[in-house]
Every structure is written in structure tokens, then in C-alpha cells.
Amino acid sequence: MASSTSARLQLPQLDGVEAAKRAAAYAAVDAHVRAEDRVIGIGSGSTVPYVVERIVQQGKAVNAGRWFVPTGFQSKELIVHAGLQLGDVDCYPVIDVTIDGADEVDSALNAIKGGGACHLREKVLAEAAKVFVVVADYRKNGTALGQAWTQGVPVEVAEFAYAKVMRDLQRMGGKPVLRMGKAKAGPVVTDNGNFVIDAPFSAEVMAQPRALLQQIKLLTGVLEVGLFVDVVQAAYFGNQDGTITTKV
Ligand code: 5RP
């Protein structure tokens, strides 16, 4: 069971959920990105821009000697536009610290990720990192997976295998849906050229995330599952009242 603590930060004014995201991101950077860190993984989603914002505030001198490895197109753009040096996991298979968003985190630091369809690369960068930290607003801070994030477990699949994997997930008791783009004109295609299935499962099944992860990973055609089990070392949540909740 992870422990949980709270602290108040002085932060620039910003409203509601955005303020909470920024507070979490700033707290995580301040706690985990050390001056001597040379390779930093940058995750995906709407909280991560605040991570980059805080890193840029650490100054040009320290950032000049660093490489930043993205989890996808969005974070690559963030890194480039912030004037930071872009690296990749081919060159840097060992990352000092990766900071990423999350869709939900339970009390044991298990997480659901992949709401932005980036979870394959996100998991690679999480596992490549000596320290993997997630940042989120208060809505993502839960006790059990599948309560706040009801859309289901994101599963990245090879395009030609999606119908077969949907059937497999149904047989496992899930209610899989192929993720469609915003205009519903076609399926979401990941940065790796694959499809994403969202598979809700019962609370009983979600209560055993490691077993579920292992079962889905074994399905032929599955590239990665958005269940992050025993990977997250710390989670920072910005709260509505300006405080931060930390789970370690
Ligand atoms: C993308 C992710 C994101 O990190 C996750 O969806 C959280 O995003 P946000 O910070 O916008 O809430 O897993 O695949």
C-alpha cells in the first residue's frame, strides 16, 4: 500500500483543474528532476506541458546538457518548441527520470494510462527510467482502478488483428469498444500505426490489475496494455484547494 502526504505550494494563478495539473507537475519536477540528471523522459497528455514549463524554468544552463526523450508526437513537439534537446530511446535506453500523466491511479500506485493512445511508448519510457513519476489532477486519484476511469482498459492492437482481439476480450468478460476519432470518421490510429480498443471490466476483475494485464498481454495481436502495475514510483495530484497529494 502506498503512503499519501499533502503540502501547500505557492503557484501562479490559474483556474480549477488546470491549476491542479500545473501544481502537480511543478511539485513532481521540483522533487524528481535533479540538476545532475542528463536524460529525461517526457510523457503525453494535457498535464505534461506544465512539466516542460517547469523544466524550462530550471534554466538554459542546466538544460543545455540534457536530452529529452518523448513518448509520442505531442511530447516531441513540446520538447522542440520549448527549445530543449530531443533524444530518443535508441540512443538513451536508460533514462534518469520520466514524468508522465495518468488517467487513474489506485492506492497501490497501479495506474491506467492510454487515454491519449500513447501507452505503448509511455510504458517503454516508464520501464527505461530509473524513476517513473506520474502527475495528474485530483480527479485521477482513486483507491481502485476503473472507478474514476470508466472508459475501460486501453489496449493497443495491430490493425489487422483488432476484430479477433475484441472477441478475445469479450470472452474474458470485457465490453470492448474500438476507439474512434473525434469526428467518428474512423478509428484512432496511434503514433505506431495501430488501433486502440477500450475494454471495461467488472470491479472484481479490475481489482486484480496484474492478473488482467498478464492475460491481455498474451492475446496475439496486442502490442501493449494501458495497465501500469509496479512501475509508478511516485504520483503527484493537484487538489482543488491548491494542495498537492503525493503517493509514494
Ligand atoms: C496518454 C496518457 C496520458 O498521460 C493520460 O491520458 C493523462 O492525460 P491528461 O494529463 O490529459 O489527463 O496516458 O496515453
Structure ipTM: 0.99
Query: Which of 104, 113, 191 has most ligand 1 atoms within 8 Å of its beta carbon, as the pocket-test mutant?
Result: 113
Q: Which residues are CB-neighbours of 21 under 8 A, at least 6 positions away?
A: 46, 47, 50, 135, 136, 137, 238
Q: What's the confidence (pLDDT) of residue 151?
A: 97
CB-count burial class (<10 Å; 0-12, 13-18, 19+) for 129: buried
Q: Is the CB of 106 under 6 A from ligand 1?
A: no
Cβ of 44 closer than 6 Å to ligand 1, yes or no, is yes
Which tens digit of pLDDT belongs to each residue from 58-113?
A: 999 999 999 999 999 999 999 999 999 999 999 999 999 999 999 999 999 999 99
3-state DSSP assignment of residue 128: helix
CA 19–ligand 1 middle distance (angstroms): 16
Which of 22, 42, 46, 197 has most ligand 1 atoms within 8 Å of CB, for mutation?
46
3-class secondary structure for 84-117? CCECCCCCCCCEEEEEECCCEECCCCCEECCCCC
Q: Report how far residue 133's alpha carbon sits from residue 234's, in angstroms, rounded to the nearest whole number.
A: 5
Question: Residue 99 corresponds to which amino acid?
Answer: I
Active site residue 36: no
